[in-house]
Structures are given as structure tokens and as C-alpha cells.
Amino acid sequence: MYGRKVKLRFLFVVIIFSTLILTTLLILKSLEENVVYFQSPTDIKLLNELEKNKIRVGGMVKKNSISINAKELNFIITDQKNEINVTYSGAVPNLFAEGKGVVAEGFLKDRNFFSATKILAKHDENYMPPEVKEALGEK
């Protein structure tokens, strides 16, 4: 038989390992649920199934597409190939303007309508989020 000390040490190792595995599983599961994917208007057009989870859509705000009333803001995000209508009621970042890059976070209603819950700010007028740059560069 093994001594008591060896048994204890064995138990300790088992506990450490099971905690580690449990933690990893927990983190990975939570990641899966809370990750937000980024898509361009073209990606959305090509979707087989409509995404139900929260996503981010990025591209350029189309010229003369912004309209506003007391409750909401409507505009069109374009990647020069395809476009998508966005409705939004919430705070607008400073650098939100027609002809500039934008990233909107929210839910798809159908292939042409997107209901945004957040519009992301950028810090610099020359700076374009890498995803938007890529989405626009694919044209």
C-alpha cells in the first residue's frame, strides 16, 4: 500500500488538475457565449442563416443617408458593394459622420435591416478600425 503522504500528495495533484480543467472549460464556454463577431454588409448578404446573436457591422456611413428624429437615428452602412440600413437610438460618438468609417453593434432584423445597440467611437479622424479597412479594401 501507498503511504499516507503519497496519497495526500496524489489527492492534491488531482484537485489542482481538476480545478484547472474546470476553469478552462468555464472560461471557454463563457467566451463562446459572449463573443461578438464582426461582419461587413457583404458578409451579411452572403449569410445562409440569419445570425441571431449580437454582431458588429462595419463600413462607411453612406453620403446623405443620415436621418434623425426625437427617438432614433437612421443611416446606411456601405462597403461600396453592399449596404445595410441601420436604426439606432442611443448616444452617438463624436466622429460619427457621413463618409467616415463606423462600427455598429447590435442585432440583425433581416438581411437589410440592422438594429444597433451601440455605435463605437474612434479616437482619431485618420484612424480606421482594421476590420473596416479590410471590409472596404475588398472592393
Partner 1 sequence: MIYSLVGYYSLVLGLIVGLTLFYFSFKNFNNATILNSKILSFTFLQFFFVVISFLCLIFSFVVSDFSNETVFNNSHTTKPLFYKISGTWGNHEGSLLLWLLVLTFFIFIFLLKTKNQPTKYKILTLVFQQVIIIGFFIFLIKTSNPFNYLFPIPVEGLGLNPILQDPALAIHPPILYLGYVGSSIIFSSVLSATALKMISISWATHIKKWILTSWIFLTLGILLGSIWAYYELGWGGFWFWDPVENVSLMPWLALTTLLHCIMVLEKKNILSSWTIILSIATFTLSMCGTFLVRSGILNSVHTFANDPERGVFILIFLFILIFLSLFIFFFFHKDNEKNSNQFFWLSKETSILINNWFMMYFLSVVLIGTVYPIFLDVISSEKISVGPPFYHKLIMPFLIPFLLMMAIGPKLKWIKSDFENKFYLICLLLISIFLAYFILKSFNQKILINTILISSALYLFFITIRDFFVKKYKNLSQNISHFGFSLLILSILFNNLFSSEVITNLKLGETFENSKVNIYFESIDSKKSKNYDSIIANFIIRNSNGEEDKLSPELRIYNQPVIATSEADIKTSLISDKFIVVNLVQNQDYFNVRYQVKPLMMWIWISVILISFGGLISLIKKNHEK
For partner 1, the binding residues (CB under 8 A) are 23, 26-27, 30-31, 33-38, 56, 66-73, 89-98, 120-127, 129-131
CB of residue 15 vs partner 1: minimum separation in angstroms?
11
Q: In Å, what is the CA distance from 125 to each residue of 3, 5, 23, 48, 129?
A: 69, 65, 41, 35, 11
Instruction: Give 41 or 56: the residue with its C-beta nearer to partner 1.
Output: 56
Q: What are residue 85's phi and psi, to 5 degrees? A: -85, 135
Find residue 88's DSSP bridge partners: 73, 116
CB of residue 83 vs partner 1: minimum separation in angstroms?
18
Helix (H) or strand (E) holding 115: strand 113-119
CB of residue 95 vs partner 1: minimum separation in angstroms?
7
Instruction: Give 40 or 83: the residue with its C-beta nearer to partner 1.
Output: 40
Instruction: Give 14 or 36: the residue with its C-beta nearer to partner 1.
Output: 36
Instruction: Give 18 or 23: the residue with its C-beta nearer to partner 1.
Output: 23
Considering just the CA atoms, what is the radius of gyration of the chain in Å?
Answer: 23
CB of residue 131 vs partner 1: minimum separation in angstroms?
5
CB 115, CB 89: distance < 8 Å:
no
CB 108, CB 55: distance < 8 Å:
yes
